[in-house]
Amino acid sequence: MVETKAYHHKYERVGLQESSPQNNFRRIISCRILSGHFCNHKINYTTARHSTISLELVLFVLNSSFADWYFRLGSTNAAVSHYQLTNIPCPIFGSSPGEPDSRVCGEFEVLLNRGHFSEIERKAIPLAKEHGCTPTLESIIASLVRFNETEEANRGDIARTQRSHLAQDAAECQVILDKILLTLLGLGDGRHVYIRQRLKEML
């Protein structure tokens, strides 16, 4: 396949708006873009082919409250520039060898299907704290991200004001993802409440 942007629509991507007002509900607005769809002006993206990590892990970082908070600290206008995104701290993914533990991942899938979010958090945070970015944890993160995507897709066509807040189960899942990221960054999941409060004050 020809390696030019004209052919990037053939790949699955994660895209994000290049511009969002400083008082918007989010500054970094990203989502998965399926193959076969074109991007118009003001959309940045990475493709599944060109990303060194899975698109789920890209969404894990970009859709976190930490990333939005950190971005706002240095933003002075509506632009969401590439250099600002590359400045966001990020765990080192793919650094641990081996394959995901299918038994552990299966246990998390069962908990997720049953909506046992408190149990997922109780088990996931120690994994992040004690072992870091293992293939098993990365697989669990990917499952949580896909769960949120499905939950939001199931809401169908809704008003933008409604879309500014996640569905209830997705919101609970996102809290877990946010805490996992903070733990992987060495900040501790306890900073989650502080960051959420600061985001409210920044609007």
| Percentage of residues in the chain having pLDDT higher than 70 | 99
- Alpha-carbon span 163 to 158, nearest angstrom: 7
What pLDDT is recorded for position 91?
Answer: 96
Burial of 37: CB neighbours in 10 Å, binned 0-12, 13-18, 19+: exposed
The CA-based dihedral angle spanning residues 97, 62, 39, 2, taken in that order and rounded to the nearest 10 degrees: -20
Lay out the sheet containing 30-33: strands in order across.
30-33, 13-17, 43-47
pLDDT in tens, 10-37: 999 999 999 998 888 899 999 999 999 9
Give pTM, 2 decimals.
0.94
Residues with Cβ within 8 Å of residue 11, at least 6 apart in sequence: 35, 47, 48, 49, 50
Q: What is the pLDDT of residues 110-168, one digit of tens each?
A: 999 999 999 999 999 999 999 999 999 999 999 999 999 999 999 999 998 888 899 99
* Mean per-residue pLDDT, 2-7: 76
